[in-house]
Amino acid sequence: MRAGIKPRRESDEDGAADRAAELAALRAIVDDLDYGIVVLDAERRVRFLNRAFRRFWNVPEAIAAERPTFVKLMYHGRGSSAYAVDQHRLGNYVEKQLEAIRKGDDAPLNIRLTSGATIQFRCKPLPDGGRLLTYGNVSDLVRQAEALELLATTDPMTGLANRRQFFKLAAVEWSRAERYKRPLALLMMDIDLFKSVNDTYGHAAGDEVIKAVAAALARHKRASDIAARMGGEEFALLLPEAGIEAAVAAGERLRKLVAEAVIVAEGKHIPVTISIGASACDAAARTVEDLLNEADLALYAAKRGGRNRVSGYDPAVALGAVAHA
């Protein structure tokens, strides 16, 4: 054998040692990532999972060392407190992950943890039939999106839905009521003589009056009702599963609550009343806008009748009121 030439066996051993060192270095790098990483083989058994994943899902070292199937790994998650969802919803999350793994689908899936963090799951197929699963902390992005959604759908002064959001939600309720032939009613309400409140007590006091009426509306509505500030001193309340009589009764309760409320602004007690118009689905109302127009006409009748009252929509009365306006 010539000098300077290593035996083939020794060269192969050196190459294997180099590859092992490179793999160990790569594993150490992946282990330090903030992203959770899981590598599955073609049989969906865990070949590797990093520290971030173990931290996200409270996976102990002993389970990680077993090279469990992904299903077993998720069953561990079911028994831990990692997920911020109840058990029946948790199964849905797991099923969606398994479906994405089966298809090799890269569509993102967000999961909220008990810590308040939001983790985004993604799946990428590997050439050998395995899967690379990533779990990234997207909490900041989710919070920003939620904040933007809140700004786009909520009235900033009162916290109620804004006009645009009201029509969006009302359209869904209208479709449901129409499809299943269910009752649906609407209240339109307006703060009486609001301009005089601003003129007498100031605009800051006027804002406090609007907030107080909105708070009464939010506090005493049903969970299924949709409350909105439609603009200025005008509010709407959509009442699923309610006919005109139930709507008038709900309006009367709200009217009394506001009339009896103690509203103090700028150190002064401000007497406040509201007028309310009620309408309900019938043969004449074909759209949400029709329902809103009918409630507006009823509101106008309540104003003409002396204010601080509830008026149900009556075509003859409403048209007469408009004719004499």
Catalytic annotation, residues: 233
Q: Which two tokens stand for residue 231?
A: 């603009």
Kindly tell me the number of DSSP H helices and DSSP E strands found in the chain: 12, 12
What angle is formed at CA 247 by the lines to CA 259 and CA 238, rounded to 5 degrees?
Answer: 95
DSSP SS3 for 267:
coil
Contact 34, 138 (CB under 8 A): no
In whole angstroms, give the CA distance from residue 259 to residue 240.
25
Which is it for the CA torsion 74, 79, 83, 87, positive or negative?
positive
For residue 19, give both structure tokens.
């590859």
Three-class secondary structure of residue 118 per DSSP: strand
